[in-house]
C-alpha cells in the first residue's frame, strides 16, 4: 500500500492517466449495450433459464452443453446472471452489463497485478491494450458462459502467487474457488488444475519440514475451495451416475485420441497463435510482435536473481501459456475456436507488458533503446485499436437482434389462439430461444405437444413454405397446413401452421 501512496497517487499525471483508463475501459464495454450486443440462441437460452429460476423456482443443477464433447458445464453461470436479470425486470441488458462490469474489473485487476510485479509503464501498456483490444471488448459485451473466464483466471493467478510467496492458506482457498468457478465456465480451464497441483507439489517439497499436519491442512483448504462452488454440479453428477465425468473421459481418451487431425500439430499451433494474436492486436504483424515479446518475456529469467519479485510470476505465467496452448492443440483435433483460449487473454497481455519491463532493464546501444521501440509499437497498436473501436461504436448501426426477437414474439402472441403453441426456426438452431424467451415472459408455453398453432420462423429469407418440412420440430405434428406467412420485422418471416382436421 505504501507503494501506491508514494509512487502512484502522488503523481497527478499518473493518477489522471489511470482515471482516463478506468473511464475508457468502462465506456467501450457499456456503450450501446442493447444495440450492439449479440442476442442469439445461446444468450436467449441462458436468460430463459434464469427467468425460470425467478418465475417458477426451477433452480438448475447443470449448465449449458459445452462446445467440446458431449459434456455439460456446471450451473454457476445461470446462477450468476439471474439476480441481474431480475434487477433489470427481465431485460437482457442486466446480464449484458454484468458481463461488461466483469470485463472492466478484469482490466483493473490486470493493471494492479502488473504494478505489483513490474512497474507503472508495464502496467499501463498491458492495461490499455487489454482495455481496447477488439477481441477482449467483444467478449465483454454479450451474455456467454466463457466471457468471465479471464477474470477468474486472474483471481487464480493472484492468489496462487500470494500462496507461493507468503504461504497463507486462505490464499489456497481462493485459488480452489477460482478453479471451481472456471471449470463450470469452460472445460479448457481444466489445465489450471495441473498448474496448481504442480505448484502445490513444489511447495510441499520446499516446506517438508513444517510437519505432516500443516501440509495436509493446506491440501484440505485447497480442496474445500474447489468443492465449494461445485456442490450443485457434484450433486447432479452423483444423482446421474457421473454422466459428465464419464463423457469427459471418453472425449479425452477415446474420441479425441482416435479422431483425425485437420492439420499437422506444428501448423495447428502456429495458425491458432496467429489468429489469436491478430484478433487481439488487430495489426498485420501481430504474430511477429507477440513472438518477439514472448522471447523478451523469457529474458526475465535472467533478472530473477536481482529482482526476487519475478521468481514466481515468470515461470507461472510461462507455464500457463504454454500448457494451455499445447493442451488445446493436442486434445482438440477438429476446429479450434478462439474462445477456447479465453483464459489466455490476461496472460497474453501480461507477457506483452512484462516483455517491455525486460526491455526497460537492458540497454544494447547507448543511443538506441529497445524499450523505445517497444513503446512506439505499443502506441501504434493502440492507435489501430482506437480506429477499430471507433468503427464499431460510431459507424456501425444497431444489429436489432433484441428488438427483432421482441417484435416477432409480439406478433406471434397476437396471432396465437391460446397460450399453448410451438415455436421453431427454419434457419439456424430449431429451438428459436430468442423468440421463445419473450413469449415465455408473456405467459406462453412455446414447446407444447398439443399446440393451437405451430410457428416456423425464417430469418433473412431464403426459406421455402414449411408445409411438409422434414425438420422434426414440424414433422412430429403430422400433416400441417400453412395458414399465414408474414414478414414481421428486420428480415424475419413467420409462418403459422395448423394441424389438418380429418
**Residue that wins the pLDDT comparison between 186 and 429:** 186
- Going by C-alpha positions, the residue among 115, 101, 162 that lies closest to residue 9 is 115
The pLDDT of residue 253? 73
Measured CA to CA, the distance from residue 276 to residue 165 in angstroms comes to: 32
3-state secondary structure (DSSP) of residue 492:
strand
- Going by C-alpha positions, the residue among 183, 177, 110 that lies closest to residue 145 is 183
The pTM for the full model equals 0.93
Phi, psi of 259 (to 5 degrees): -75, 145
Measured CA to CA, the distance from residue 427 to residue 224 in angstroms comes to: 45
The pLDDT of residue 1? 46
The pLDDT of residue 502? 64
The string of DSSP letters for 325-376 reads HHHHHHH--S---GGGGTTHHHHHHHHHHHHHHHHHH--SSSS--HHHHHHH
- In this predicted model, what pLDDT tens digit does every residue of 316-360 receive, in sequence order? 999 999 999 999 998 887 788 999 999 999 999 999 999 999 988
Measured CA to CA, the distance from residue 131 to residue 349 in angstroms comes to: 10
What residues does each domain of the chain span? 2-382, 401-499
- Please determine, for residue 68, whether its predicted confidence score (pLDDT) is greater than 70: no
Cβ pair 309, 252 in contact under 8 A = no
- Please determine, for residue 17, whether its predicted confidence score (pLDDT) is greater than 50: yes
* Range of weakest confidence among 131-145, 158-172, 242-256, 390-404: 242-256
Estimate the crossing angle of helix 41-56 against helix 433-441, to 10 degrees: 20
List, as own/partner pairs, every contact residues 77-84 make where C-beta atoms lie below 8 angstroms and the sequence separation is at least 24, other chains included.
Answer: 77/46, 77/145, 77/148, 77/184, 77/185, 78/46, 78/49, 78/50, 78/53, 79/53, 80/148, 81/46, 81/47, 81/50, 81/143, 82/50, 82/53, 82/54
Residue 423 half-sphere exposure toward CB, CA atoms < 13 A: 27
Pairing of strands 422-425, 454-459: parallel
**Residue that wins the pLDDT comparison between 6 and 491:** 491
Amino acid at each position: 500500500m505504501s507503494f501506491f501512496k508514494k509512487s502512484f497517487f502522488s503523481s497527478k499525471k499518473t493518477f489522471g492517466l489511470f482515471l482516463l483508463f478506468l473511464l475508457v475501459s468502462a465506456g467501450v464495454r457499456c456503450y450501446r449495450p442493447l444495440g450492439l450486443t449479440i442476442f442469439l440462441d445461446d444468450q436467449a437460452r441462458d436468460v430463459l433459464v434464469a427467468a425460470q429460476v425467478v418465475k417458477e423456482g426451477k433452480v438448475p443443477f447443470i449448465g449449458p452443453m459445452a462446445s467440446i464433447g458431449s459434456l455439460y458445464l456446471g450451473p454457476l453461470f445461470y446462477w450468476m446472471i439471474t439476480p441481474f436479470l431480475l434487477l433489470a425486470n427481465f431485460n437482457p441488458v442486466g446480464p449484458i452489463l454484468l458481463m461488461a462490469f466483469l470485463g472492466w474489473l478484469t482490466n483493473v485487476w490486470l493493471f494492479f497485478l502488473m504494478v505489483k510485479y513490474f512497474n507503472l509503464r508495464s502496467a499501463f501498456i498491458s492495461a490499455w491494450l487489454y482495455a481496447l483490444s477488439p477481441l477482449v471488448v467483444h467478449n465483454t459485451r454479450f451474455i456467454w458462459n466463457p466471457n468471465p473466464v479471464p477474470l477468474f483466471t486472474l483471481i487464480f493467478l493472484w492468489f496462487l502467487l500470494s500462496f507461493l510467496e507468503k504461504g497463507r492458506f486462505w490464499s489456497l482457498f481462493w485459488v480452489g474457488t477460482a478453479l471451481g468457478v472456471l471449470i463450470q465456465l469452460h472445460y479448457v480451464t481444466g489445465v489450471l488444475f495441473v498448474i496448481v497441483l504442480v505448484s502445490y507439489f513444489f511447495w510441499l517439497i520446499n516446506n517438508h519440514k513444517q510437519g505432516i499436519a500443516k501440509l495436509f491442512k493446506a491440501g484440505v483448504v485447497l480442496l474445500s475451495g474447489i468443492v465449494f462452488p461445485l456442490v450443485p454440479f457434484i450433486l447432479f453428477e452423483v444423482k446421474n451416475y457421473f454422466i459428465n465425468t464419464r463423457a469427459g473421459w471418453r472425449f479425452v481418451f477415446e474420441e479425441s485420441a482416435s479422431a483425425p487431425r485437420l492439420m499437422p500439430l506444428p501448423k495447428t499451433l502456429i495458425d491458432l497463435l496467429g489468429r489469436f494474436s491478430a484478433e487481439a492486436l488487430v495489426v498485420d504483424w501481430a504474430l511477429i510482435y507477440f513472438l518477439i515479446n514472448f522471447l523478451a518475456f523469457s529474458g526475465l529469467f535472467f533478472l530473477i536473481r536481482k529482482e526476487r519479485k519475478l521468481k514466481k510470476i515468470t515461470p507461472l505465467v510461462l507455464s500457463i501459456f504454454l500448457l494451455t496452448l499445447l493442451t488445446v492443440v493436442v486434445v482438440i483435433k477438429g476446429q479450434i475456436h478462439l474462445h477456447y483460449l479465453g483464459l489466455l487473454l490476461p496472460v497474453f497481455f501480461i507477457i506483452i507488458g512484462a516483455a517491455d519491463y525486460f526491455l526497460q532493464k537492458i540497454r544494447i546501444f547507448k543511443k538506441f533503446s529497445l524499450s523505445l521501440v517497444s513503446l512506439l509499437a505499443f502506441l501504434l497498436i493502440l492507435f489501430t485499436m482506437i480506429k477499430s473501436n471507433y468503427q464499431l461504436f460510431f459507424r456501425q448501426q444497431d444489429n436489432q437482434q433484441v428488438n427483432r426477437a421482441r417484435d416477432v414474439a409480439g406478433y406471434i402472441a397476437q396471432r396465437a389462439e391460446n397460450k399453448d403453441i410451438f415455436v421453431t426456426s427454419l434457419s439456424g438452431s430449431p429451438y428459436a430461444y430468442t423468440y421463445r424467451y419473450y413469449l415465455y415472459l408473456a405467459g406462453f408455453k412455446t414447446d407444447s405437444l398439443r399446440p393451437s398453432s405451430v410457428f416456423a420462423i425464417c430469418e433473412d429469407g431464403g426459406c421455402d413454405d414449411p408445409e411438409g418440412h422434414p425438420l422434426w420440430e414440424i414433422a412430429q405434428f403430422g400433416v400441417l397446413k400453412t395458414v399465414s406467412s408474414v414478414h414481421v420485422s428486420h428480415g424475419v418471416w413467420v409462418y403459422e401452421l395448423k394441424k389438418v382436421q380429418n
